[in-house]
Amino acid sequence: MRRLWAVTWARSVEFLRDRSALGWNLLFPVLMVVGMATVFSGPERPIFNVGVIGEAEFTAATHPFFATEGTRFHHEDDEAAAVAKVERHRNDLLLDLRVSPARYWVNPESQRGRLLERLLRASDPQAVAQAVSGRAIRYVDWLVPGILGVNMMFSCMFGIGYVIVRYRKSGYLKRLNATPLRAVEFITAQMLSRLILILVVTTGVYTGCNLFLHFRMEGHYVDLFVVAALGAISMIALSLMIAARISSEELSGGILNLLSWPMMMLSGVFFPLDGAPQLVQTGARVFPLTHMLEAARAIMLDGAGLAAVSGSLAVLAAMTGVFLVLGAGLFRWTQD
């Protein structure tokens, strides 16, 4: 028992003396609570999201369907783009009041859309249903890039950043520094190793699931592979930048969580952000996962090529460059 108590006390004192880790454990929960409260507080969030073509006011006097509770109505200017949002589950229903009787679009694969259709027909029996152009997209087709993307994100962030911090703390990096190995060679080797592993695992998971679920793929697999590779490199570079100087495993884990969890929640992994506040939508653009998922979904669901997603690729490339320059400049071999 004395030995057990001695080891317990030694570890506790070690943690308490590590000011960065102690401060982070006190600060991180506060940041998470404040951040989540800022994003999800305020009025109760609507259940349904409905696009409306036309400049009508969203009042029951304009159309009785606007009295539906728990529904967010917003104007849509481009009919083709609005119909595409219905296909991709970004809008549950699209209503056009420019004609009489009103017409609407709904994705038959959407449960919320079918429920809204019943409510609309109850308030306006004369409303005319319009066929969704093309093959309706299942939710799993929209979701699979997000699931694979978030798995890649966690593998990149913790598989690189946390491991390098452990190497530094254990003295492994100090021993490597005594060899002819240069920092750029070590960092490059870490990136290549993690990149190859992630791409092989992700490709295997996608291929295996596709045998049973038959994901929609309108574009080319080579284009999708390029997007996945560039997105993985960007997130690996981000983790390398974080781990460049930190020597505390607890601190590195906290910072990695601080970045990865908001990235998972705000990058459109599980649901689109069309109904979120504009500030949240703008803030999501700073995450590499957001741009990777946008490009991947454009290729898989819209048949876009690399030229069509060049904007997202350029942002990922720019982020990678910035992260690598900062990581290389800040990198140190030892804790001192």
The domain boundary, picked from 78, 107, 130, lies at 130
Q: Is pLDDT larger for residue 64 or for residue 30?
A: 64
Question: Does the pLDDT value for residue 229 go beyond 90?
Answer: yes
Determine the average pLDDT of the residues in 52-62: 82
Is residue 43 a part of any domain in this protein? no
> Are both 96 and 53 inside the same structural domain?
yes
Is residue 336 a part of any domain in this protein? no
What does pTM read for this prediction? Answer: 0.71
Of 263, 281, 300, the closest CA to residue 143 belongs to 300
pLDDT band at 44 (very low <50, low <70, confident <90, very high): low
> Are both 143 and 240 inside the same structural domain?
yes
> Are both 145 and 116 inside the same structural domain?
no
Determine the average pLDDT of the residues in 12-16: 63
> Are both 151 and 238 inside the same structural domain?
yes
Q: What is the pLDDT of residue 274?
A: 66
Q: What is the pLDDT of residue 78?
A: 82
> Are both 98 and 163 inside the same structural domain?
no
> Are both 211 and 102 inside the same structural domain?
no
Q: Name the percent of the chain lying above pLDDT 90.
A: 10
Give 105-128 pLDDT, tens digit per residue. Answer: 988 878 888 888 888 888 888 888
Is residue 21 a part of any domain in this protein? no
Question: Does the pLDDT value for residue 24 go beyond 60?
Answer: no
pLDDT band at 21 (very low <50, low <70, confident <90, very high): low
Question: Does the pLDDT value for residue 66 go beyond 80?
Answer: yes
pLDDT band at 335 (very low <50, low <70, confident <90, very high): low
The domain boundary, picked from 79, 108, 130, lies at 130
> Are both 304 and 177 inside the same structural domain?
yes
Least confident of 96-110, 275-289, 317-331: 275-289
> Are both 207 and 294 inside the same structural domain?
yes
Is residue 187 a part of any domain in this protein? yes
Q: What is the pLDDT of residue 228?
A: 92
> Are both 112 and 146 inside the same structural domain?
no
Question: Does the pLDDT value for residue 25 go beyond 60?
Answer: no
Q: What is the pLDDT of residue 222?
A: 92
Determine the average pLDDT of the residues in 280-287: 83
Mean per-residue pLDDT of the chain: 80
Select, from the ranges 146-160, 229-243, 255-269, the one with the highest average predicted confidence (pLDDT): 229-243
Question: Does the pLDDT value for residue 28 go beyond 60?
Answer: no
Q: Is pLDDT larger for residue 138 or for residue 86?
A: 86
Question: Does the pLDDT value for residue 36 go beyond 70?
Answer: no
Boundaries of domain holding 266: 139-330
The domain boundary, picked from 105, 130, 155, lies at 130
> Are both 117 and 146 inside the same structural domain?
no
Give 159-204 pLDDT, tens digit per residue. Answer: 777 778 887 877 878 887 787 877 777 777 778 888 888 888 888 8
> Are both 146 and 266 inside the same structural domain?
yes
In the chain, how many domains are there?
2
Is residue 9 a part of any domain in this protein? no
Q: What is the pLDDT of residue 32?
A: 56
